[in-house]
Amino acid sequence: MPASTAAEQHSSKRPSLSVVIPMYEEIESLGPMVERVHEGLADYQGDWELICVDDGSRDGTGARLQDLAKEAGPHLRVIRLRRNFGQTAAMQAGFDAARGELIATMDGDLQNDPADIPRMVDELLARDLDLLQGWRRNRQDDLMMRKIPSRIANAIIGKVTGVRLHDYGCSLKVYRAEVIKDVRLLGEMHRFIPVWVAGVTAPERIGETEVTHQARQFGHSKYGISRTFRVLLDLLAAFFFLRFGARPGHFFGSIGILFGVLGTLMMAHLLVVKFGLGEDIGNRPLLFVAILFLVASVQFLTTGVLAELLTRTFYARGERTHHRIRWASDAQTAGWKTCR
């Protein structure tokens, strides 16, 4: 092969890619999903692998995935969690196992189109982004139960965090591996991945692009209207950890100082009333409010100190995940699917 041709092929080769798909009781979607991923990445000019994470399904999803892996080849890797830990834990398990320079995530319910992934990879590289978020502009979901709550949540998240995107809930994303692996996902943090990524990279390196969205073909959605309320609680946690995760003493200390100043001013006023005007203050409600504020001030200040100690202990010992793996494909024998 001429040297110039080899150089051109090398320069046009895309980075290695790991596609991570968390799944929970999606046995009917497995065969079509694996087939569509292979069709969508058939012309991907680079090495890629597919990592399917079974989140403790009880409908045979895990066993079926292992069968599909034997049929497809070593580039299809399967991870089975011991029980249902949740989508966040399943995604974290996939991220930990991924070997690609880039990582793409999508749902396993066939609503995301794998054919969007190569285009998203090219766009992420062209725009020099660390995360490219999918935007389901023509979302094929129920208006009242899914679309409206999602729009409200997206607006609130953007307003509170400053990371403004149209569709936080879309699972179709492409990341640079070195960036997303700096983020440890716990609880139900998968809803706020762009927010957490903004904690380790510049917000301007997070972009979005329109993607295809299709109606669910099999099974039923695992989410309902109750998710909106959980999102609000998770948003409070996200806001706290992003602003004060490494310095919780500033959060609790600020509240403690505020209460302390208010309590001191109230006490100073009562001192003037007592000794300057000679009036009785023993039965005044303001006295009890001042005492309450001063006690609360001490509590918040000491809580801030303890939080700082815990934070330093946590970072000193290293981070740990809260999921446990039941079975996983051997990473030593895993292969890549390469376009010939």
Domain residue extents for the chain? 14-244, 248-315
Question: 182 burial class (0-12, 13-18, 19+ CB within 10 angstroms)?
Answer: middle
What CA–CA distances, in Å, run from 138 to 95, 166, 221, 270?
Answer: 28, 12, 18, 63
Which residues partner with 77 through β-bridges? Answer: 51
pTM exceeds 0.85, yes or no: no
Residue found by looking up tokens 């692996």 in the block: 181
Cβ–Cβ under 8 Å, residues 16 and 99: yes
Q: In whole angstroms, what is the distance from residue 159 CA to residue 161 CA?
A: 6
Q: In whole angstroms, what is the distance from residue 158 CA to residue 148 CA?
A: 16
Q: How far is C-alpha 222 from the geometric centre of its chain's CA atoms? A: 17
Q: In whole angstroms, what is the distance from residue 118 CA to residue 277 CA?
A: 80
Query: Which positions ≥6 away from 287 have C-beta within 8 Å?
Result: 266, 270, 281
Residue by residue, pLDDT tens for the chain (340 residues) are 454 444 444 456 889 999 999 999 888 889 999 999 999 999 999 999 999 999 999 989 999 999 999 999 999 999 999 999 988 899 999 999 999 999 999 988 888 899 999 999 999 999 999 999 998 877 655 556 556 666 766 677 767 666 778 887 788 999 999 999 988 887 777 778 888 888 788 888 999 999 988 766 655 555 555 566 666 777 777 777 777 777 888 889 999 999 999 999 999 999 998 888 878 887 888 999 999 999 999 999 999 899 888 877 766 665 555 565 767 788 778 888 877 6
Q: In whole angstroms, what is the distance from residue 183 CA to residue 189 CA?
A: 10
Which residues partner with 104 through β-bridges? Answer: 19, 174
* Half-sphere exposure in the Cβ direction for 78 (13 Å, CA): 20
* Half-sphere exposure in the Cβ direction for 266 (13 Å, CA): 18
Q: What is the CA radius of gyration of the chain?
A: 26
Question: 172 burial class (0-12, 13-18, 19+ CB within 10 angstroms)?
Answer: buried
Q: How far is C-alpha 322 from the geometric centre of its chain's CA atoms? A: 15
Look up the CATH number of domain 14-244: 3.90.550.10
